[in-house]
Amino acid sequence: MLLAIDCGNTNTLFAVHDGTSWRAQWRTATHTARTADEYAVWLSQLMGLQGLGFDDLSACVISSVVPQSLFNLRNLARRYLKAEPLVIGDAGVDLSIRVALDRPGEAGADRLVNALGCRVKYPGNLVIVDSGTATTFDVVSEEGVFEGGIIAPGINLSMQALHNAAAQLPRIAIERPERVIGTNTVGAMQSGVFWGYIDLIDGLVGRIKAEYGKPMSVIATGGVASLFEGASHAIDYFDADVTIRGLLEVWRLNSVRKGA
């Protein structure tokens, strides 16, 4: 079985694929000081609840945008899976995605994996909206070229900044308010954050499409993307499995190439 790991700035996702389907998925907060042994203790307990153990795992693929965590995740695979992990960004790892940026090395591993995860399911030109620590808008052509995109602050980051910078504004949960015009502080904040991000998404997608000049499908993914379902007019598909699908595809591509 394959262990897929997606290490983001806020959360790290662990998922197990048995060759046919995903058996289980778990998330934990990303802490750069967490050791391989600490990951192993946490992960072994959760796998046990699903009737799984480290002996069931024979391969590992890792995408990480947190360099400080990558060392310990590599050691987790080496020590407990007895496997050398396939790491996105390492020399020789094929993503079948051409990067058409001024500096191709600046494309984050998570954005490239998302591009591949969407490419294997959705045809044509794509806009991938990933709502995480940052909200990214990535453009992938129908030929599979990563053409660039937009990076904006994530919705949780913006809400945290608002709370930290204004002494009288409380920390609140993100949810869709019943009214656009807030009649109290919490309602006003929720409206500003929620509808502000809806208009951010719809507005930027509209500008991307106008500049690109070709039909495009818009796929939303990421930790808070489901909050926008039914509110955004620009999003065509909501897909929570974009990243792990991309990781699985990377592993398949490189396993076939190496004759594994």
| Residues identified as active-site | 110
SS3 98: strand
What's the token pair of residue 141?
A: 């052509």
Burial class (CB in 10 A: 0-12, 13-18, 19+), 102: exposed
Measured CA to CA, the distance from residue 15 to residue 240 in angstroms comes to 13
Measured CA to CA, the distance from residue 136 to residue 201 in angstroms comes to 10
SS3 216: strand
Measured CA to CA, the distance from residue 70 to residue 78 in angstroms comes to 12
Is 114 within 8 Å of 149 (Cβ atoms)?
Answer: no
Nearest one of 240, 248, 247 to 221, comparing CA atoms: 240
